Amino acid sequence: MPDQDAEFITRHIQKHPVNLKFETELAEIINDGNGNACGVITKSGEKISCDFVGLTAGVTPNIDLVKNSILKTAKGIIVNQYLETSVSDVYAIGDCAEISEPPAGRKAIEQVWYIGRMMGETVADTICGIRKAYNPGPWFNSAKFFDVEYQTYGNVPAALNENMDEFFWQHPSIEKCLHIVWKKIHLNLQE
């Protein structure tokens, strides 16, 4: 996230209250002696007691179901632009699908639910007789942080490069903000 957005979301999360720790890494999970977690120790040596430990380390497609089948797989199940797998009449959509040649500016695997829905609509058209290529259009997504619905439209880098400019507005009293980032266009009006 860009700094302004990250600070906005951080303040909101901390209000709830969650003790967010930055630049902190897990060193050890403490065993209560019965095989259950009862705390963690961070790399700076801090001990935090807890009742359970949840780890979130990114997402990977779960393709166990088809791993030893005739379907072509890599990290996910390989599909073409029609979301067709290597076996006719078998499609893959959503988190498990890996597009062999993704549309320009898009990743081969995009694990967010809007993608799954758009892929579902595309395949529904195809199996109903209108063969359709997957065309997600501009990137967009939303994520919920307690009461804030954080929405993104287009690709916004965490740090702007020199060809970009931005506008950031935050409501003075309620938790709302708007952040617009654009590419600067240099017009040569003398030609």
Residues that bind ligand FAD (CB under 6 A): 62, 65, 94-95, 111-114, 116, 141-144
Minimum Å gap between C-beta 116 and ligand FAD is 4
Query: By Cβ distance, which residue is nearest to ligand FAD?
Result: 94
Question: Looking at beta carbons only, is 47 or 67 nearer to ligand FAD?
Answer: 67
CA distances in angstroms from 31 to 26, 46, 52, listed in the order given: 14, 16, 11
Question: Looking at beta carbons only, is 40 or 148 nearer to ligand FAD?
Answer: 148
CA distance 9 to 148: 8
Minimum Å gap between C-beta 52 and ligand FAD is 15
Minimum Å gap between C-beta 63 and ligand FAD is 9
Which residues, at least 6 apart from 21, have a Cβ–Cβ distance to it below 8 Å? 42
**Residue 85 in contact with residue 115, Cβ under 8 Å?**
no
DSSP 84: B
Question: Looking at beta carbons only, is 41 or 90 nearer to ligand FAD?
Answer: 90
Minimum Å gap between C-beta 69 and ligand FAD is 11
Question: Looking at beta carbons only, is 145 or 168 nearer to ligand FAD?
Answer: 145
Which residues, at least 6 apart from 147, have a Cβ–Cβ distance to it below 8 Å? 12, 175
